[in-house]
Structure 1
């Protein structure tokens, strides 16, 4: 079987890691790399792999296009990507915009739209519950050091005002309202909203806690509520401790997890898939 040709959109920390990892695996082959600032790529990526303009990405014959840049990429280029290849949306907070989600779902007719589970533990089981309509509640709580958050608007000011050692809850409500305020931090929550599709972005809950004491970890808690059985609700709660230094937006374990998603993505046909 020929290796899967992967195009990488974005060359930050995760994009660099993926570019190197893809070239080291026999089951993957680098198709192209794009970055908003092309000069960053010169000297680090062979010229034959550099895509100067995303409008021309089909010329590199990718089997899978992987976005690890910014949510705006899916809005601007997602449907075009899906006309070319399978598409893995590495910034699923983009899907909190209903028009963007609708456009990508509509475009996923000949290729698949893939959403990485990332730090969302139990994603496949929750997807099965959503498919059966038995998922009744889903909440994701993320706890990080204040320096690990990258916010927009009101949350940025609220986080900057934290002093002392006490944890502060910055947001507790529907995931749809949180994604535009923290597009780089809550991709796990967006993945949860896609997995729990019978609830969606308006019903799946997200909670962000800024904790100055968390100098070594990113903590992700997932609370699942299922149907009543003999008068009692089925519930599951998981806690994931991801090693991370202060200032790190992405935890250490995320890199390997994302590479696994790249390996799993593709070949499942049209529609939306978790990976």
Structure 2
């Protein structure tokens, strides 16, 4: 561990709502959990002024090595993992807050290989995925035959362009299915909206992004929460379905409970070696 041997140094990449939440909790509660803030980077550096101490602001992301972080958390955009993930993993553990980045097969393969070589862990936060550890155990035991993740939100809670964006806007008159198919095809179309689906794909590598099915729904009758349904199927007629209601302000991309889930994930991010680990 670099820096103070008694504390694990955390770098935050991205300062949107989730980044701000993590920074605040690290400042308020980090020391008693053996954590301290190493740096905060944001594409718009002005957003950090007045809220993040100057000595913790990182001007250029390429200079992250100077801050000796033990774990780097991306909560910005999938392009960060695709562009900088390899460098991060060579130096530290890396939590990918936008796992849709790994729907690109080359990125996933590269980061898996770097994690194995470096001995650092590529952490995938569960976020809004309920039962992720159970899915992972089924997959590891060769028992997972099919997995479907259905996400439903208010039309205003999507950040979509192109054809999906048009479909979402038309959904004001009633519930509309925006996409139904392999998660790999959906991730590039909705990179900021389906990280829960991507986490499920990484929990079930035997199925992966091509085998896990995703269904994305816009529903004007969901003004103050998101719904995530997960259905796992195994041998002999086994199946389990969960339905999670995640409170969310109208127009919010991320549900309120997901913020606390990220913090819980961070608290277990240590000692898992060179692998991909759902936390």
Task: Report TM bin, short chain.
Answer: over 0.9
Secondary structure of the equivalent of 1:161? helix
Secondary structure of the equivalent of 1:88? strand
1:168 and 2:176 correspond: yes
Secondary structure of the equivalent of 1:268? coil
Aligned position for 1:36: 43
Aligned position for 1:157: 166
Counterpart selection for 2:144 from 135, 147, 164 = 135
Higher share in helix = 2
Q: Is the 8 A contact 2:12 2:23 kept in 1?
A: yes
After superposition, where does 1:66-215 map in structure 2 within 5 Å?
Answer: 66-108=73-115, 109=117, 110-164=119-173, 166-215=174-223
Task: Please report how far the alpha carbon of residue 162 of structure 1 lies from its aligned counterpart in structure 2 after TM superposition.
Answer: 2.4
State how far apart, in whole Å, the 1-side matches of 2:254 and 2:185 are: 21
Once the two structures are superposed, residues 133-173 of structure 1 have per-residue CA deviations (whole angstroms, 9 ceiling, x without a partner) of 11000000001100001113210111122232x21111110
State how far apart, in whole Å, the 2-side matches of 1:266 and 1:202 are: 30
1:250 and 2:257 correspond: no
Aligned position for 2:232: 224
Task: Please report how far the alpha carbon of residue 39 of structure 1 lies from its aligned counterpart in structure 2 after TM superposition.
Answer: 1.4
Structure 1's consecutive aligned runs of 4 or more residues displaced over 4 angstroms after TM superposition are: none
Secondary structure of the equivalent of 2:171? coil
State how far apart, in whole Å, the 2-side matches of 1:266 and 1:205 are: 31
State how far apart, in whole Å, the 2-side matches of 1:61 and 1:15 are: 19
State how far apart, in whole Å, the 2-side matches of 1:130 and 1:197 are: 7
Once the two structures are superposed, residues 167-216 of structure 1 have per-residue CA deviations (whole angstroms, 9 ceiling, x without a partner) of 11111100000001111110000000000111000010000111001112
1:9 and 2:13 correspond: yes
State how far apart, in whole Å, the 2-side matches of 1:163 and 1:114 are: 37
Task: Please report how far the alpha carbon of residue 266 of structure 1 lies from its aligned counterpart in structure 2 after TM superposition.
Answer: 2.6
TM-score (norm. length: structure 2): 0.95
State how far apart, in whole Å, the 1-side matches of 2:215 and 2:57 are: 39
Q: Is the 8 A contact 1:63 1:266 kept in 2?
A: no
State how far apart, in whole Å, the 1-side matches of 2:271 and 2:221 are: 43
State how far apart, in whole Å, the 2-side matches of 1:266 and 1:185 are: 27
C-alpha RMSD of the superposition: 1.0
Mind listing any 5+ residue stretches in structure 2 that lack a counterpart?
none
Q: Is the 8 A contact 2:99 2:124 kept in 1?
A: yes
Aligned position for 2:243: 239
State how far apart, in whole Å, the 2-side matches of 1:67 and 1:263 are: 15
After superposition, where does 1:29-68 map in structure 2 within 5 Å?
Answer: 29-68=36-75
State how far apart, in whole Å, the 2-side matches of 1:91 and 1:134 are: 27
Mind listing any 5+ residue stretches in structure 1 that lack a counterpart?
none
Secondary structure of the equivalent of 1:163? helix
Aligned position for 1:263: 267
Select between 56-65 and 86-95 the one with higher mean Cα deviation: 56-65
TM-score (norm. length: structure 1): 0.96
